[in-house]
Amino acid sequence: MARRKKIYEGKAKILYEGPEPGTIVQYFKDDATAFNAEKKDVIEGKGVLNNLLSEFFMNGLNQIGVPTHFIRRINMREQLVRNCEIIPLEIIVRNYAAGSLSKRLGIEEGTQLPRPIVEYCYKDDALGDPLVSEEHIAAFGWASQQDMDDVLSLALRVNDFLSGVMLAVGIRLVDFKIEIGRIYEGDFMRLIVADEISPDSCRLWDIETGQKLDKDVFRRDLGSLTDAYSEVARRLGVMPKTSQVTKPTLIN
Ligand code: UDP
């Protein structure tokens, strides 16, 4: 295979130059990190599961007219996506209290929120991705008011879609994080959902038992992360064959 030029290596993914201009190859690693990379491990098969699950969610969004960066899956660990200019914000949507919201406001985990709450964090690992307001976003020029109107509407559409898909397989979508990017088409710019949508970036609880099926299993040492993600994949009908989960493909 031809050597691909690495553009960027993050905590869970590597980005390579794509085969055509404006495209990128996203490679999903098995690395798991939490608490701003203070806790680290390699979880065999996580990359394969997240690649397939992100494909499933992004494809669904594309089909209902929510634009995403996803073009096609290349193999068990890689997908081809559109290159976009990422807005430096983590966009968090919450339906039930959990994690940092529970801690910050003293609301018991699992409490249903009166309506979905959208929060923004400034993407900066060195600062620990601090929570910011729209005032900060406007003042520092991270996104325009028009961008933020579109970001909010995209975030809520993604929330409705994911909540419904999960509900259909007995899973509660507690909260999730997305990233949004800009693409330029001639004189026009539009926003698309980028990065990934996977159990690494969502909180997913079994509706009947409350069992956690997301990265909190790793963060809080609650058992096997692969088992939890496999359960989500199995329910959604995107479970890979066992051999494909355990054998990472060598790239470069
Ligand atoms: N999240 C994420 N990446 C981050 C921070 C949060 O994917 O850097 C996701 C997280 O998995 C959860 C949601 O965003 O689904 C809300 O996370 P929260 O603010 O509660 O942070 P945490 O408790 O994970 O620190």
**What pTM value is reported for the model?**
0.95
CA of 237 to the centre of ligand 1 (A): 25
At residue 244, the pLDDT reads: 63
Ligand 1 atom closest to the Cα of residue 119 is 19
pLDDT tens digits, one per residue of 53-92: 999 999 999 999 999 999 999 999 999 999 999 999 999 9
Of all residues in the chain, the percent with pLDDT exceeding 70 is 95
Ligand 1 atom closest to the Cα of residue 174 is 15
What DSSP element (H or E) covers 163? helix 145-167
Strands (E), the chain: 6-9, 13-17, 23-28, 31-34, 39-42, 70-73, 78-82, 85-86, 89-96, 112-122, 131-132, 171-185, 188-194, 202-206
The residue whose CA is least distant from atom 23 of ligand 1 is 99
> Distance between CA atoms of 81 and 18, rounded to whole angstroms?
8
- Residue 231, phi then psi, degrees to nearest 5: -65, -40
Residue 249 reports pLDDT greater than 90: no
Asked if residue 99 has its Cβ within 6 Å of ligand 1, the reply is: yes
Q: Is domain 85-206 annotated with CATH 3.30.470.20?
A: yes
Mutate to test the pocket of ligand 1, among 86, 201, 216, 217 (most ligand atoms within 8 A of CB): 201
> Distance between CA atoms of 81 and 26, rounded to whole angstroms?
7
Ligand 1 atom closest to the Cα of residue 215 is 11
At residue 183, the pLDDT reads: 98
At residue 247, the pLDDT reads: 57
**pLDDT band with cut points at 50, 70 and 90 for residue 225:** very high
CA of 176 to the centre of ligand 1 (A): 7
pLDDT tens digits, one per residue of 167-197: 999 999 999 999 999 999 999 999 999 999 9
Task: Compute the mean pLDDT over every residue in the chain, rounded to the nearest whole number.
Answer: 95
Asked if residue 201 has its Cβ within 6 Å of ligand 1, the reply is: yes
Q: Can you tell me the mean pLDDT for 90-96?
A: 99
Q: What are the tokens at 22?
A: 């404006």
Question: Of 161, 23, 154, 164, nearest to 89 (Cα)?
Answer: 154
At residue 241, the pLDDT reads: 74
Residue 242 reports pLDDT greater than 80: no
Tokens 């397989």 appear where?
A: 169
192, 84 Cβ separation under 8 angstroms = yes
CA of 175 to the centre of ligand 1 (A): 8
**SS3 category, 97:** coil
User: 212: burial class by Cβ within 10 Å (0-12, 13-18, 19+)?
Assistant: buried
Q: Could you tell me the CA-to-CA distances from 200 to 49, 195, 197 in Å, in that order?
A: 10, 12, 8
- Residue 244, phi then psi, degrees to nearest 5: -75, -25
User: 65: burial class by Cβ within 10 Å (0-12, 13-18, 19+)?
Assistant: exposed
pLDDT tens digits, one per residue of 111-121: 999 999 999 99
**pLDDT band with cut points at 50, 70 and 90 for residue 245:** low
Residue 250 reports pLDDT greater than 80: no
**pLDDT band with cut points at 50, 70 and 90 for residue 1:** low
What DSSP element (H or E) covers 49? helix 46-63
Q: Can you tell me the mean pLDDT for 128-155?
A: 98
Longest dimension (CA), the chain: 53
Q: What are the tokens at 186?
A: 């001639």
At residue 11, the pLDDT reads: 95
pLDDT: which is higher, 3 or 191? 191
